[in-house]
Structure 1
Amino acid sequence: MISLAKLQRRIDAGDLSADDSIAQSLEAITAQDKTIGAFVCRAENLRAASDGPLRGIAVGIKDIIDTADFPTEMGSPIYRGYRPRGDAAVVMMLKQAGASIIGKTTTTAFASVDPTPTFNPHNKGHTPGGSSSGSAAAVAAGMVPLALGTQTGGSVIRPASFCGVAAIKPSYHLLPTVGVKCFSWTLDTVGLFAAGVDDVARGLSAMTGRPELLLPPTISTPRIGVVTQDFAGAPEASGEAALRIARRAVEKAGATVRALALPKNVAEAWRAQPVVQEFEAHRALAWEYREHYDAMAPLLRAKLDGSRDTTSFAYDEAIAVATRARQALEKVFDGVEVLLTLSAPGVAPKGLGSTGDARYNRVWTLMGVPCVNVPALVAEINLPVGVQVIARYGADAQALAAARFVEQALAGRISAA
């Protein structure tokens, strides 16, 4: 993989020109994407910006995010060849920070459940996850140092886990969704993929102009609550092993760690999340569903068929459940700084028939809290599994710092004093 932090240091030191950095990504895409299929379109020639913290950094953009320089087809034939007149807000934030948009990455249709033809770079017999399939795969394959995705259920953290990359789903609306195809306005969140936690932090800090998101030179030892999410069902052996290994690593590194039982309100919110998601999806995709029903991706169409009778009363009740759960979760963080939990049930599913299960992600998206994936192990079939670090709403800097602590502990770079 390509480390954004290392590229920045080389460019700043004059060891690598910004244009050569971009050229390396173009060459990597040419060499690798024919067997992975992470991009739906890409630049042929691209120059670096003259300044900005992300100059020389090539970025892939999930193809539900508007770009003036590339089509935005949203994984659907309904929008084949569609060319927005302007960039989404997050794309402009990247450009203003000096980044170079290198192309559009694959997405499931409207960021839902119908798989893309993208392969997992670690094992091409398995999915890279979804819906941000191409962004996760492009970073994992070393094609780009940074990519944007979105998460409505688990579409950033889960593919990051399957592809063995770092990723952040920031606090709700830290990154604007203006110019991003809506699926659920209560849930949709723009996120970032990169090689490591420091890389993710640098990308998010540069985009938002928030220096407080950069990692401090010394990471303090966090107080961690381990959460198994029993209400979401048991994980696979590899997922359970990832959480166990991560817990042992941070304990060995000196962190204060204890198991936590989440409030009942959070379990109720987990059950309510699909009501919120599907009710809003019917409104966000009303034109496509009514005017282009036959062209809708089959799994998404079936999901909308099955949920079209959801009442506004049920939706209002689900929103009320989520509000109570957020209040209860806030109190959990009075005793710990971050939570450590599963990113996915286990390794990436075999084949391209499914993008995986979001059951360990969806409640955190509904809660709006920042989540960071950290790769924890590589299973026997050369497939990674991650864990996620979660902080209270708005504490993205704390989530990133704690995730860096977990990352370093897993690498054996820190130990208890």
Structure 2
Amino acid sequence: MDNLVSISASEAARRIAKGALSSVRYTEALLARIAEREAAVGAWIHLDPSAALAQARAADARPPVGPLHGVAVGLKDIIDTADMPTAYGSPIYAGHRPGKDAPSVAQLRAAGAVILGKTVTAEFATYHPGKTANPHNLAHTPGGSSSGSAAAVADYHVALSLGTQTAGSIIRPASFNGIIGYKPTFDDFNYGGLHALAPSLDTLGVFVRHFEDLSLSRQVMSRSQPVRAPSAPMAAAPRIGVCRTPMWDKADADMQEAFLRTVDRLGKAGAALVEIELPPSFTALIEAQTLIFMAEGARHLEREWREQPALLSPELRALLEKGRACSDAAVAEAQALAVRCRAELADILREVDALIAPAAIGEAPQGLAATGDPLFSRIWTFLHVPCISYPVGRGDQGLPLGVQAIGAHADDDRLIGTAWWMAEQSAEWTPVS
């Protein structure tokens, strides 16, 4: 494997800015890796090497214009692009060409990025999977709905890719693929130009292999300016809330073991550990988040449901049927619960730098017909707080396991520094061979 494909996006940008590496050379290395692995992994739904190299040549022909100058990135195929098809994972939109780029894509281009292509998404970023396999074991799911974006980063096709999360579609695939997944504070990254599913939950985020690329992504895409994301782990040992969550007994034994081992390592490294038991009101959040997911999904996929129901998967039709049956009163009650729990969580997070919780039930399940359960992400997505997943070893089947760090609302920069410190003390990376 060409070692160029394993460097961070930040390192690639530094080398290109110094003239030590050309964008063409870097892009060629990534395309060679994709050519070697794509038939097995299936991370991409649209890839045009000649167009990517044309962007790279244009980058090499001008001075650096931004912090991602000449660096190739991937986009989940739920994100509109004017020069590439965007099908939202559905045959309804096969060949669809949006009229303009999503704001996030415009931000990437303004920062100098080369848009390598579009990665596979589950249907409308829900549950019906695409073709992507887990690069650690091709018989297992990479998770979803951001399946292609996660697999592309894990398999060294790109160093940075965009994904989205409405339930657990960044944190869970990051855990399954042994990489870093970052779901920012809700609405901190501009979600415009993406096919809405549940707008009170939908969040744009990123997959990377190196923590410094989280700071880079915030520099390019965050609404919070100026960004103060760290370029190194926080200097002092943090105060960490150990949060098994009400779903603890649903975690597999190997996930529970990995989580407790990670907590022990953090304590031995100097972190102040505080046991956190979430208030009783939090036990109803899973059901409430699921209701909002279904109800808003039914509303925002109404046209597709009405005009071309035969082109929707059975899984999605079943979800939309349930969503259409949700009453306005039930939706209002669920949203009111989230408001109360956000205030309670804010009080908890004033006492710690971050919480630590499992990122998924366990390893990536076998088979490609489903993408795994988002159980351990639902409440944090609903509460709009930032989350970062990083790998902490392997489970019984030799596949990656991850934990997630959860930060206070709009305190993403501190969360990155805290999670970076945590990972330096406890991460167990599981690189694809």
TM bracket, shorter-chain basis: over 0.9
Match of 2:409 in 1: 393
TM-score with structure 1 setting the length? 0.95
User: By how many angstroms is 1:265 displaced?
Assistant: 2.3
Q: Is the 8 A contact 2:178 2:391 kept in 1?
A: yes
The corresponding residue for 1:171 is: 185
What is the rounded CA distance, in whole Å, between the counterparts of 2:151 and 2:9 in structure 1?
A: 16
Residue of 309, 334, 337 corresponding to 2:350: 334
Question: What is the CA–CA distance in structure 2 between the aligned matches of 1:12 and 1:70, rounded to whole Å?
Answer: 27
SS at structure 2 position matched to 1:393: coil
- Change in Cα spacing, 1:28 to 1:192, as seen in structure 2 (3 Å) is same
> Cα RMSD between the aligned structures?
1.6
Q: Contact between 1:89 and 1:178, CA under 8 Å: does it hold in 2?
A: yes
Over residues 48-85 of structure 1, what are the superposed CA-to-partner deviations in whole Å (9 max), with x where a residue is unaligned? 33421101211110011100111000111100000001
Which whole-Å CA distance do the structure 1 matches of 2:356 and 2:233 have between them? 22
In the TM superposition, 1:128-277 aligns within 5 A as 128-208=142-222, 210-216=226-232, 218-231=234-247, 233-277=249-293
The answer on whether the counterparts of 1:232 and 1:359 sit within 8 Å (CA) in structure 2 is: no
1:4-83 correspondence runs (5 A):
4-45=9-50, 46=52, 47-48=55-56, 49=59, 50=62, 51=64, 52-83=66-97
- The answer (yes or no) to whether the contact 2:255–2:395 under 8 Å persists in 1 is no
Partner of 1:344 in structure 2? Answer: 360
| Rounded Cα–Cα distance in structure 2 between residues aligned with 1:127 and 1:231 | 22
**Which amino acid in the other structure matches residue 125 of structure 1?**
A
Query: Residues 129 and 411 from structure 1, CA distance in 2 versus in 1: closer, same or farther, beyond 3 angstroms?
Result: closer
How many residues of Structure 1 are paired with residues of Structure 2 in the alignment?
412
What letter corresponds to residue 106 of structure 2 in structure 1? M
CA deviation vs aligned residue, 1:236-273 (integer Å, no higher than 9, x gap): 02211221122122112111012110112222223211
Question: 299, 302, 305: which one pairs with 2:315?
Answer: 299
SS in 2 for 1:397: helix
Aligned 8 A contact 1:376 1:410 in 2: yes
The DSSP-based 3-state class of the residue aligned with 2:142 is coil
Deviations 1:186-217 (A, max 9, x none): 00000100112222222222333644123346
Q: What is the CA–CA distance in structure 2 between the aligned matches of 1:155 and 1:213, rounded to whole Å?
A: 23
What's the CA shift string for 1:346-378, capped at 9, x where partnerless?
A: 000001121001110011001000000111112
- Which one-letter code corresponds to 2:273 in the other structure? V
Cα separation, 1, equivalents of 2:96 and 2:404: 35
SS of the residue corresponding to residue 74 of structure 1 reads coil
Q: Do 2:233 and 2:417's aligned partners in 1 also have CA atoms closer than 8 Å?
A: no
Distance 1:5 1:252, change over 3 A: farther
Gaps of 5+ in 2: 1-5, 429-433
How far, CA to CA, are the matches of 1:127 and 1:411 in structure 2?
22
Q: Is 1:374–1:406's contact at 8 Å kept on the other side of the alignment?
A: no
Q: In 2 relative to 1, CA 9–238 (structure 1 residues): closer, same or farther, beyond 3 Å?
A: farther
Match of 2:431 in 1: none
Counterpart Cα distance in 2 of 1:219 and 1:265: 35
Task: Name the SS of the counterpart of 1:229 in structure 2.
Answer: coil
Using the TM superposition, give the Cα deviation of residue 233 of structure 1 relative to its aligned residue in structure 2, in angstroms: 4.2
Aligned-partner SS, 1:245: helix
Alpha-carbon contact 2:38-2:44 (below 8 Å) kept: yes
Alpha-carbon deviations, 1:320-358, whole Å to 9, x = none?
111111011111012111100010000000011210011
Taking structure 2 as the reference length, the TM-score comes to 0.92
DSSP 3-state at the match of 1:404? helix
CA positional deviation for 1:10: 2.7
Query: Which residue of 2 is the match for residue 415 of structure 1?
Result: none
User: Percent identity among equivalent residues?
Assistant: 40
Letter in 2 for 1:269: L
Which residue identity does 1:239 align to in structure 2? M
Residue 3 of structure 2 corresponds to none
2:392 to 372, 376, 382: 376
1:363 and 2:379 matched? yes
